[in-house]
Amino acid sequence: MEPLIARREASGQPQDDILWPSIGPDFRAHLAADEPLRWTGTLRDVSELRPVGDDPNILWTMGDFDCPLAITDRRLIYVTREIKTKSGPMTGYLIGLHANDDRKWADHRYAGQVRFEWPTRIQLILRKVAFLKLAVILITCRRPDGQTTVISLTMSLHRGFRAAAVTALVQALVRDIASHRLMSRPGQDTAALEQLRATAAPSAQSPGELTWDLPAALPIGIEVRRPPTAPVSVAQPPPPAVAPRPARSGGVKPLNVVAMVLAVVLIVCALGSLPDLGTAGSAVAKRDVAREATAAGDVRRAARAWLDVLAAAPRSVEALLRLSCLSWDAGYQDEAVAYFDRALGAGVRWDDTVIGEPCFVNAPTLHRLRLTYYDGSSPALYVQPKNDDETAAILTAIARGAPGPAEESTYRDAIAPYPKAQEWQRLLAIGCLNERAGLRYHAGKHFSAGLDLHLRLREEPLAVGGPLESCVKAMGPNYGFVRRNGSELFFPKDLGDRMFIPESSPLPSRLPLVLP
């Protein structure tokens, strides 16, 4: 069966096609006259998986980083400029589908959809990948031959779009699917659909994972028109208040869920640790102990206590800021900046008074720290070079994704053959700037993410003789790496000297570092 994506020519006239949407001259999908738009957003990744036993077979994945997602009252629609194939029986078909031509993206896009008749299950999985926080929505559908296909939608979580927001979005989607099926197929699993529309209660849940089983699903390729007298849409209730996070359930989950998610997110970045999305029962007690140790001025005990808080609540802003300040004052500026970087990802305001005592986090720009969003939403810290040499200026322009007038020509050469700096190029530039400033612990995360992303997306080689190639070659003697789940994670060889371990690190270990 054909994949749930196809090349679509931009056209002023909609095409009647059950499997794939048509797109207009503005590269947006054509909607029916009575089809309201529920939600729009941007996906970090969209892929189609065909399970083989307990293993995922990635049929295709999108080839750029600005894939829009639209949700109406009857379907989900995704549109991307290009797709990349992975493996499987449809590979030859897809290679012909997206073969390069002289027109590039001038008059076409690749578009796909999931109609509300098709999903048999929706799963929401929250994961931390390296230093990125992601939400993965898995939509399982049944093909006419009885086999399943899974559409995987990956979104970045950030200050403006947190886990509670994406959970509310999926719950609203589940309600709309139930409403659509009640109106289009009256009498089919009415009680179960009514309950689903009313509560959107998951059928299984565990920390970081929610599953909804959807009754009355039809095979892919079948659409049931609503009766003409049916209302166009069903009003959605407002997003629910954030409820206490569910405890681990004894519900059964499919064996291949985790494998599918990891296969998809590894395309994006190196695999990192998973966040604790549950509320630890002792978190408040640990926080009180940490506050007491901080007030008493016991640096070692305070650092250990805040690390314990962070283990129970990895996104604790207070713990991240306290560890930033303790590490900085103890002389471990490298680790301090890494903690502050995580705090920014958890929602801390930039260059503002965020803690009620003297600390660098209240005025980071005075310490030549700068903030950029390398993918439009994910924050990353880098050190503004003191020496205004050409290489530093170009690396700064790549990290920011915006050159000044003086760097325009050299900047274009450094990021060639791309018209704008790619996400992996920006990550590498951020790592290079931090490496030049001596923040190798912090730089290692960006090197890991950038190099892994470059490899997995099969991008063009680094520009020969350019600043990124020179930087990556020069980092070799100072870094080691470990392989984890097929990815290389880089770390400085003197990592032990750059981390403050409360039980063993010298205090003070050295004179406070001054960023060069």
Residue count of the chain, please give it.
Answer: 516
Residue 36 has a CB neighbour count (10 Å cut-off) of 11
Look at residue 450 in the predicted model and tell me its pLDDT.
Answer: 87
Partners of 144 in the β-ladder: none
Q: Quick check: 386 pLDDT over 60?
A: yes
Place of tokens 């709309």: 176
pLDDT band, residue 5 (cuts 50/70/90): confident
Look at residue 9 in the predicted model and tell me its pLDDT.
Answer: 80
Look at residue 279 in the predicted model and tell me its pLDDT.
Answer: 37
CATH class, 5-97+104-213 region: mainly beta
pLDDT digits (tens, 9 = 90+) for 280-324: 346 778 888 999 999 998 888 999 999 988 888 888 889 999 999
Q: Quick check: 341 pLDDT over 80?
A: yes
Q: Quick check: 379 pLDDT over 90?
A: no
How far apart CA 149 and CA 140 sit, in angstroms, is: 6
Long-range contacts at 249-254 (CB < 8 A, ≥ 24 apart): 249/204, 249/205, 249/206, 251/203, 251/204, 251/205, 251/206, 251/211, 252/204, 253/204, 253/206, 253/209, 253/211
Complete edge-to-edge strand list for the sheet that includes strand 37-43: 6-9, 108-115, 75-80, 67-72, 37-43
Look at residue 506 in the predicted model and tell me its pLDDT.
Answer: 77
pLDDT band, residue 104 (cuts 50/70/90): very low
Look at residue 141 in the predicted model and tell me its pLDDT.
Answer: 93
Residue 427 structure tokens: 């990550």
How far apart CA 166 and CA 206 sit, in angstroms, is: 16
Look at residue 496 in the predicted model and tell me its pLDDT.
Answer: 79
Place of tokens 């995360």: 445
CB 302 within 8 A of CB 324: no
pLDDT digits (tens, 9 = 90+) for 124-172: 999 876 567 889 999 999 988 888 899 999 888 876 678 888 999 999 9
CB 184 within 8 A of CB 91: no
Q: Which of 41, 35, 39 is nearest to 74 (CA)?
A: 35
Q: Is the peptide bond before 239 cis (omega within 30 degrees of 0)?
A: no
This prediction has a pTM of 0.47
- Across the range 237-251, mean pLDDT stands at 35
**Among residues of the chain, what percentage have pLDDT more than 70?**
77
Q: Quick check: 410 pLDDT over 50?
A: yes
Long-range contacts at 97-101 (CB < 8 A, ≥ 24 apart): 97/6, 97/7, 98/7
Q: What is the DSSP letter of 216?
A: S
Look at residue 43 in the predicted model and tell me its pLDDT.
Answer: 84
pLDDT digits (tens, 9 = 90+) for 171-191: 999 999 999 999 888 778 899
Cβ burial, residue 160 (10 Å; 0-12/13-18/19+): exposed
Q: Where are the domains of the chain?
A: 5-97+104-213, 282-406+418-497
Q: Quick check: 103 pLDDT over 60?
A: no
pLDDT digits (tens, 9 = 90+) for 251-286: 333 334 444 444 444 433 322 222 332 333 467 788
pLDDT digits (tens, 9 = 90+) for 219-232: 998 766 655 433 33
Q: Quick check: 78 pLDDT over 70?
A: yes
- Across the range 99-111, mean pLDDT stands at 57
Q: Quick check: 367 pLDDT over 60?
A: yes
**Among residues of the chain, what percentage have pLDDT more than 90?**
24
Amino acid at 191: A
For 358, residues 6+ apart whose C-beta sits below 8 A from its C-beta are none
Amino acid at 22: S
